[in-house]
Amino acid sequence: MTTLDEIDLEKPVPASWWYWGIPIAILVTVLLMKFGARHMTAPVAGSAEATSVMYMDIEATGRRFVRFDHPPQNLEFREGAVRSSSERAEVKNVDFVVDGARMGGLLGRPKNSGNQVPRPIIVVCHPSDSPYVTGLHTATTVQALAEAGYLAFSPDYRGWGASQGSPGFEVHDVIGAIRAAKEGLIAGGDGRVGLLGFSMGGGIALRAAYVETNVQAVALYYPQLGGSLEELALVRQGKRIPGAGQMMGLLQFGASRSANDAEVDLALRQTSAIYHVARLQAPLFLVHGAEDEVVNVLQSQALENEARTRGKKVESHYVPGKRHAFANEWDGNDAREDLLRFFSQTLPVAAP
């Protein structure tokens, strides 16, 4: 394990760290390290060989950040009982194991005569909700993707629902799901993998793609990415905007440490997933409600701008009048036809 003090933000390495969107606790700790020791360090790390997933470790020794310098290990995948079924597809409960921790999840599989044809696997990353149970806000999407011809795997993260362990390993567990798909643990997969994430799951999916750069497609709905410089600028001007609390907390703490604007901007750049998009190798599909009251649409717009500046392939849809979580159920997903077209282009299913 490596402590926060030993991780240098000046290295051009992307972040994959605990939980959704950079909680204020993380930013406060980052700033404390910066403005107390005058040396810029923070919880970012990651490479194809060492996933380096960050999480909060609160022990008798105090609060600190640590990371695991190994990829997901001891992967297991087993299909269980059928949960739902239609004429074209069925959804099963599954057991999924990463690093010895057993988790639940769902697997959607086509039922048609061509179901022996190897198919791409789409890993569906669930949003946050409480109380969380397996399939909450993903079951209808898993079913629909299977009916469209894909294998769709939605893992519960460690510590979520009935899964073993404690939260804090979400990115690590999704990387494990990607590797299980790539390594043939999910029967019927052809080695190609796409990611689809909603809200918290969107931020998790993007960070996982920064580490596992061999995925073929990344689709994000109203992703929680950790804040944008555009939001920070508006809050500095006294504007009331959706999701302002995180930026206000950052500015208040920076002021208490006599930090200047450039120092606070740098802390945000180093912790937000938006500003590490150079690592992304797959085409990106973005959907965000224009009236999102939880995750400001500026986050997706900033990600799109950063990605386009770096020559990435991006398709974006900003849906007028829609608030947060409008697409958590398939029938409410106004961009579902665009999503299926995106996947058909990036992950075409072979004919039976």
pTM for the full model? 0.83
Nearest CA among 265, 244, 243, 241 for reference residue 254: 265
Do residue 199 and residue 50 come from a single domain?
no
pLDDT the model gives residue 211: 87
pLDDT the model gives residue 269: 86
Residue 255 in domain: yes
pLDDT the model gives residue 250: 84
Do residue 192 and residue 233 come from a single domain?
no
What is the spatial distance between Cα 317 and Cα 322, in angstroms, rounded to a whole number?
A: 11
Q: Which residues of the chain have pLDDT under 70?
A: 1-70, 113-115, 352
Q: Are 350 and 118 in contact (CB under 8 A)?
A: yes
Residue 351 in domain: no
Do residue 264 and residue 292 come from a single domain?
no
Q: Are 265 and 229 in contact (CB under 8 A)?
A: yes
Last residue of a domain, one of 251, 271, 291: 271
Residue 352 in domain: no
Nearest CA among 200, 208, 198, 201 for reference residue 172: 208
Do residue 127 and residue 218 come from a single domain?
yes
pLDDT the model gives residue 13: 33
Last residue of a domain, one of 271, 289, 305: 271
Residue 57 in domain: yes
Last residue of a domain, one of 244, 271, 298: 271
Do residue 119 and residue 164 come from a single domain?
yes
Do residue 86 and residue 179 come from a single domain?
yes
Bridge partners of residue 314, in order along the sequence: 284
| Residue 337's CATH number | 3.40.50.1820
Q: Which domain holds residue 18?
A: 4-71+228-271
Do residue 103 and residue 157 come from a single domain?
yes
Cβ burial of 239 (10 Å; 0-12, 13-18, 19+) is exposed
pLDDT the model gives residue 115: 60
pLDDT the model gives residue 114: 57
Per residue, the 3-state secondary structure of the chain, as one string, reads: CCCHHHCECCCCCCCCCCCCCCCHHHHHHHHHHHHHHCCCECCCCCCCCCCCEEEEEEECCEEEEEEECCCCCCCEEEEEEEEEECCCEEEEEEEEEECCEEECEEEEEECCCCCCCCEEEEEEECCCCCCCCCCCCCHHHHHHHHHCCCEEEEECCCCCCCCCCCCCCHHHHHHHHHHHHHCCCCCCEEEEEEEEEECHHHHHHHHHHHHCCCCCEEEEECCCCCCCHHHHHHHHCCCCCCCHHHHHHHHHHHHHCCCCHHHHHHHHHHHCHHHHHHHCCCCEEEEEECCCCCCCHHHHHHHHHHHHHCCCCEEEEEECCCCCCCCCCHHHCCCHHHHHHHHHHHCCCCCC
Residue 133 in domain: yes
Residue 102 in domain: yes
Measured between alpha carbons, how far apart are the two ends of the chain, in Å? Answer: 48
Do residue 193 and residue 88 come from a single domain?
yes
Do residue 190 and residue 108 come from a single domain?
yes
What tens digit of pLDDT does each residue of 11-22 get?
333 333 333 333
Do residue 87 and residue 162 come from a single domain?
yes
Residue 86 in domain: yes
Do residue 135 and residue 263 come from a single domain?
no
Do residue 120 and residue 237 come from a single domain?
no
What tens digit of pLDDT does each residue of 17-60 get?
333 333 444 444 444 444 333 222 233 333 333 333 333 232 32
Number of domains present in the structure of the chain: 2
Residue 110 in domain: yes
